[in-house]
């Protein structure tokens, strides 16, 4: 009987370890180049945005409303309302969507966990944390992305 309990406990530990490793994510593992970071800084300065915080990855964000204390992780499912813009002000996408943060661009995966449910954040994402050198119609290659994001809910 003790052998069966020991086997069950070991199986739970192994299973729990597998679940945890499935969502392993290091938000600072990929960092934008100095040139990309400088381009975002130049954009912020030209628009009088002085309160943006630089994330370890090189993206910038401004928290307009922190929302609830409990925050999502980089692997959470979320419901967000958003507007995505290019630096020339062109809106390329907007809406409300349910999605997993493990399946989005790094800028979102790093930025959205900065707020809780009900929070509002502005993200300034260098190309390498967005779509990089690939054009994603209507987003040109190597574009800085600007997002207004409201986190409606997360699990």
CATH number for the domain including 58? 3.10.50.40
Its pTM stands at: 0.85
Task: Please tell me the total number of residues recorded for the chain in this structure.
Answer: 155
Task: Tell whether 14 is covered by a domain.
Answer: no
In this predicted model, what pLDDT tens digit does every residue of 100-127 receive, in sequence order? 999 999 999 999 999 999 999 999 999 9
Contact call for residues 102 and 91 (beta carbons, < 8 A):
no
Task: Tell whether 120 is covered by a domain.
Answer: yes
In this predicted model, what pLDDT tens digit does every residue of 44-53 receive, in sequence order? 999 999 999 9
Residue numbers of the domain that contains 53:
27-154
End-to-end Cα, the chain, rounded Å: 37
Catalytically active residues, by annotation: 82, 92-93, 105, 131, 147
Contact call for residues 94 and 154 (beta carbons, < 8 A):
no
């Amino acid at each position: 009987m003790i052998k069966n309990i020991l086997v069950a406990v070991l199986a739970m530990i192994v299973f729990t370890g597998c679940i945890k490793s499935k969502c392993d994510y290091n938000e600072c593992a990929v960092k934008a180049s100095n040139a990309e970071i400088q381009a975002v800084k130049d954009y912020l300065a030209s628009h009088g945005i002085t309160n943006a915080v630089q994330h370890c990855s090189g993206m910038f964000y401004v928290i307009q409303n922190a929302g609830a204390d409990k925050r999502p992780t980089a692997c959470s499912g979320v419901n967000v309302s958003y507007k995505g813009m290019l630096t020339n002000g062109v809106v390329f996408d907007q809406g409300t969507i349910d999605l997993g943060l493990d399946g989005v661009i790094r800028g979102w995966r790093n930025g959205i966990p900065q707020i809780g449910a009900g929070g509002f954040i502005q993200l300034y994402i260098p190309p390498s944390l967005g779509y990089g050198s690939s054009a994603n119609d209507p987003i040109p290659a190597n574009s800085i992305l600007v997002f207004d994001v409201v986190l409606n809910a997360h699990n």
